Amino acid sequence: MDMFVRLIVAVALSGLVGVERELSHHGAGLRTQMTVGIGAALFAIAGESLGDSRVAAQIVTGVGFLGVGAIIRDGMGIKGLTTAAGLWAVAAIGLAAGIGQLDLAVISTLILVAVLFLMRPLERFLHRFGSLGEA
């Protein structure tokens, strides 16, 4: 039963991040975030059951590879960095839930969602403020 709770917590928390991505019309939305979160939790549970502590490192590497696919060069700029970082963070949240660190997973999710929601207006302001001096 404990493993079931861990999986449900992982999918629910990663779903919160996915909702933000959907609302902001960015890539790696609800289903992707939930899939990464539950996958990381499942790998963590399996690794814990096998007594293999190397599983966490493999999750970090594997999701890093997945995130690279989300990054796109756009002229002189780069798009998808937040999407890639979000996938990586959701994997960490799923990993925390998978090993039973539910408090850490919840707090991390709340911080991540706050950063994604609350920093967007600040970024817009900074971009506008920065472009004032370019005239």
Residue with the larger pLDDT of the pair 67 and 96 = 96
Our CA angle for 79, 83, 85, nearest 5°, is 110
> pTM of the predicted model, to two decimals?
0.87
Side chain identity at residue 107, one-letter code: I
Q: Are strands 72-74 and 77-79 parallel, antiparallel or unpaired?
A: antiparallel
Q: How far apart are CA 65 and CA 134, in angstroms?
A: 37
Provide the number of structural domains found in the chain.
1
pLDDT for the residue 132? 66
Tell me the residue range of the domain where 41 lies.
Answer: 2-132
At 69, the pLDDT band (50, 70, 90 cuts) reads confident
Q: What are phi and psi of 73, to 5 degrees?
A: -80, 130
